[in-house]
Structure 1
Amino acid sequence: MFDDLDASLAAVLDDTGAPSEVRTADVSFAVPDKDFTPGQVTLNLFLHEVQENRVLRDDAPLQRPLAGGGWESRRAPLRVDCTYLITAWSAMTGGHRVTEEHRLLGSSLLWLSRFPVVPDSFLRGALKTPPQPFPLAATVAQTRESASVGEFWNALGIAPRPAFSLTVTVALQPFTETETFPDLKAVELRSGLLTDPQLRGRVLDPALAAVPGASVHLVEATRTVISGSSGSFGFADVPFGTYTLTVRSAGRPDVTSTVDYDQDAQVHDVILTGP
């Protein structure tokens, strides 16, 4: 994934619309330490921090329509901020080196600032196929100076250099499991009376069609009713609580369902198995 992000950013810098000094510079993702001595003008993008973006954390699943109908649902991906330190390097010496590095650094800053979102046309590898579920947001030059900056350069073993940050937010999917659901074809509203509650519902087959004439037994109350023409059944004068429903229908296996019946949960359908 991170190598694909590297390739995507290299494509941005190599675009024909980029300034010539940016487009012709070599692009490196190596660690810019004391051993980094490029022999030509180079723009270095050092990926030095990868951190979850907790502001964008969302536990709601992602859903997409399927070509043959229905929907696919999968867990929300991890949103991760990938932060690069961008520096410019010249093979010249003295003032010419400084001039060339500053020109390249400034031009790359202005060019990358054009893209608050990395366009899909630049995406490579796993960032392109399958498509990212969210646009790749990019922020430029947002890193604040702090006491740790000196420690950072010391760890690399070189003197501090002019640099700016580039942070790209990508989506990583740790989970491959998906669930599929059929299209919603109808919505049925069934009301209940708070002053005269009733444990009720419908007996349905696997296709959600009504099953009339089924025997519905309320185990704890030792009561039995027969489902009507619409598959409906009901038990009046039942105290709120947890109950067991056993449903029998000719030619089908018996089905037992445990339900929590209370004032706000009076309707409990039972779906049978088998033909």
Structure 2
Amino acid sequence: MMFDDLDATVKALFDDAAAPAELRAADISFDTPDRAYKPAQATVNLFLHEVCENRALRDEARVMTRSGDRYTSRLPALRVDCAYLATAWSAQAGGLKAAEEHRLLGLALRWLSRFPVVDERFLRGSLRTPPQPYPLSTTVAQTQEGRSNAEFWSALGVPPRPAFSVTVTMTVDPFDEADELAAARRLHLDSTVMPHAALAGRVLDHTLAPVQGAEVTVVETGARTASAMGGEFAVPGLAFGDYTLRVQPPGGPAEQLAVTYAADHQRLTVVLSQP
């Protein structure tokens, strides 16, 4: 019922008490204006002839909402352009017919141009409940580059008529699936620049498992320490510069490596090559 609700929303614009009296008295039709279309009274016809995604408004980011200690993650909704072709029709004859149609069409153009965004009070059905995540925007009397209304009339097999386009952009959510995620209870930050400068890091074996009890020595200064249970080590009191580390794991051969110790490079990972 989505497009029916959009039709009802557009019709509500014409029914507004502030609209010109001649527009409010006219019939608002959404029928196909083909060769058999002959309304019995003054009519503004709004034929929905094209629906396409507005890719300029596409958002690739997932939508995250929180409820208590849970998050819901879902794909973003589509922004869809719904293009109407507006024409005016009179039941009169001769010059009176053309005059009434032109007058109605001009009133419709001026009135709809007042609504670059459709006010919530005009929304109907599923466009109102649940609320649209973005306001319904409109563009009036704009034609895509390289296209003309003549193509439309040619497709219907009827002579061209004065007309203008009305495009309403609405939001459509075709996705029912949503991922449920638990909210983070605790956040631990391990900064690469420590408040108290120290050459620090971890010692890992060739399987990337932490090595406890490895002796870490700064060759140039003789400063030494031993890695803890998680392979962590720290050598404080060094000036920033280039150093050679000698790492002696328990029961294994020692290995040496050159390191650069700087304000923005205080942590390193030593991976032993020997099993």
- TM-score (normalised: structure 1): 0.69
The aligned residue for residue 243 of structure 1 is: none
Deviation at 1:25, TM superposition (A): 0.7
Q: Deviations over 1:152-202 (max 9, x none)?
A: 2122122111100000111111111224456677754321369966469xx
Q: Structure 1 residues 108 and 184 mapped into 2: Cα distance closer, same or farther (>3 Å)?
A: farther
| Larger Rg over CA atoms | 2
Deviation at 1:75, TM superposition (A): 1.4
User: Quick check: 2:120–2:128 contact (8 Å CA) kept in 1?
Assistant: yes
The aligned residue for residue 56 of structure 2 is: 55
Q: Map residues 35-184 of structure 1 onto 2, 5 A cutoff.
A: 35-66=36-67, 71-143=71-143, 149-180=149-180
Stretches of structure 1 lacking an aligned partner (at least 5 in a row):
201-216, 226-232, 238-262, 267-275
Q: In the alignment, does 2:10 pair up with 1:23?
A: no
Tell me how far apart the structure 2 counterparts of residues 19 and 124 of structure 1 sit (CA, whole Å). Answer: 22
Tell me how far apart the structure 1 counterparts of residues 65 and 41 of structure 2 sit (CA, whole Å). Answer: 47
Tell me how far apart the structure 1 counterparts of residues 132 and 54 of structure 2 sit (CA, whole Å). Answer: 16
User: Quick check: 2:202–2:210 contact (8 Å CA) kept in 1?
Assistant: no
User: Quick check: 1:198–1:234 contact (8 Å CA) kept in 2?
Assistant: no
- TM-score (normalised: structure 2): 0.69
Q: Structure 1 residues 158 and 179 mapped into 2: Cα distance closer, same or farther (>3 Å)?
A: same
Deviation at 1:72, TM superposition (A): 3.6
The aligned residue for residue 235 of structure 1 is: 231
Count residues with an aligned counterpart. Answer: 218
Q: Structure 1 residues 222 and 187 mapped into 2: Cα distance closer, same or farther (>3 Å)?
A: closer
Tell me how far apart the structure 1 counterparts of residues 31 and 42 of structure 2 sit (CA, whole Å). Answer: 14
Tell me how far apart the structure 1 counterparts of residues 14 and 31 of structure 2 sit (CA, whole Å). Answer: 16
Q: Deviations over 1:241-267 (max 9, x none)?
A: xxxxxxxxxxxxxxxxxxxxxx9x99x
Q: Say which is worse superposed, 107-116 or 150-159, in terms of deviation.
A: 150-159
The one-letter code sitting in structure 2 at the alignment partner of 1:21 is E
Q: Deviations over 1:103-149 (max 9, x none)?
A: 11111111110100111111111111111111111000011585653
**Aligned to 1:220, which of 204, 207, 229?**
207
